[in-house]
């Protein structure tokens, strides 16, 4: 008998930002949610009803991306002020500033062990940093336009990046070389993500498509055209069997990767929540 899924219901509603919210990330301990906004602030929301949210002020311009470290003890934020900040998500909100980019920083990610940070920027570079010593390590420079997203593979050996040059690139961390470029997107690449197995990647673009690639054979596995506007973000389910995407068409779509089809559409944010 087929399982009938109930529609998801609104669980919690957090209010505190004064402008557009750009990015969200759950603490791995599932007790906190971080959000960043065009209002230049980072908010850390505590799920315990009695605990108030933390507002962290430090960036001088819009904050584009946020990511908890795997341990949950640090939060990294990337900003239009050209810096990356590493925060301790407690009431004090202490932070360290990383400076090396010469334009807006759009993406930030940690390695699985939390030792290394990767950032992507409008200066067309991807940069790697050590978290412990808080030092800049090196740049990857082969994109010819803004780099909107860069992520580590689950084992930390590879990097995937997506750019306004309409390409998705795979990089080897040991050699610091680009080992493959995918050219199939018809627009800017807004977001890239590794599959939990590390054998596939997904990309989302302004061409309204979501693509899944096999990086062992360097070939396109799945191509989804379910959205009617630019696709801005992606996330794989931990099982690797589902992929969720968010778009300018005001929907979230869940794809069943085993069946290769659209599984569910969430229609949200059509009315203002007050």
The tens digit of pLDDT for each residue in 32-70 reads 999 999 999 999 999 988 888 999 999 999 999 999 999
Query: 91: pLDDT confidence band, cut at 50, 70 and 90?
Result: confident
CA 202 to each of CA 30, 78, 95, 150, 243: distance values in angstroms, whole numbers, following the listed order: 25, 22, 32, 12, 9
Phi/psi at 183 (5° precision): -110, 5
Residues 6 or more apart whose CB falls under 8 angstroms from that of 214 comprise: 199, 200, 221
Q: Average pLDDT in the 171-192 region?
A: 96
pLDDT in tens, 138-148: 999 999 999 99
Cα separation, 139 vs 8, whole angstroms: 42
Closest Cα to residue 173, out of 222, 130, 224?
130
Burial letters 90-101, b for 16+ CB under 10 A, else e: eeebebeebebb
Closest Cα to residue 41, out of 53, 27, 29, 26?
53
pLDDT above 90: percentage of residues in the chain: 86
Residues 6 or more apart whose CB falls under 8 angstroms from that of 85 comprise: 42, 58, 59, 76, 77, 79, 95, 96, 97, 98
pTM of this structure: 0.93
pLDDT above 70: percentage of residues in the chain: 96
């Amino acid at each position: 008998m087929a399982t009938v899924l109930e529609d998801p219901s609104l669980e919690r509603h957090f209010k505190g930002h004064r402008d557009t919210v750009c990015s969200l990330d759950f603490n791995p301990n599932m007790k906190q949610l971080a959000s960043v906004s065009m209002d230049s602030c980072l908010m850390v929301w505590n799920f315990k009803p009695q605990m108030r949210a933390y507002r962290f002020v430090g960036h001088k311009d819009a904050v584009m991306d946020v990511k908890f470290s795997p341990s949950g003890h640090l939060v990294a934020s990337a900003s239009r002020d050209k810096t990356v900040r590493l925060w301790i998500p407690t009431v004090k909100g202490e932070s360290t500033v990383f400076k090396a980019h010469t334009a807006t920083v759009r993406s930030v990610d940690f390695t699985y062990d939390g030792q290394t940070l990767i950032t992507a920027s409008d200066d067309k570079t991807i940069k790697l940093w050590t978290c412990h010593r808080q030092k800049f390590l090196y740049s990857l420079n082969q994109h010819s336009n803004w780099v909107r997203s860069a992520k580590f593979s689950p084992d930390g050996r590879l990097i995937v990046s997506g750019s306004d040059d309409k390409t998705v690139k795979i990089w080897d961390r040991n050699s610091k070389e680009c080992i493959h470029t995918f050219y199939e997107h018809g627009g800017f690449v807004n977001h890239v993500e590794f599959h939990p197995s590390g054998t596939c990647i997904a990309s989302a673009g302004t061409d309204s498509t979501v693509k899944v690639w096999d990086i062992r054979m360097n070939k396109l596995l799945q191509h989804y055209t379910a959205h009617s506007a630019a696709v801005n973000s992606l996330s794989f389910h931990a099982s690797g069997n589902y992929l969720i995407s968010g778009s300018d068409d005001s929907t979230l779509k869940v794809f069943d990767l085993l069946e290769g089809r659209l599984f569910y559409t969430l229609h949200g944010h059509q009315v203002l929540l007050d």
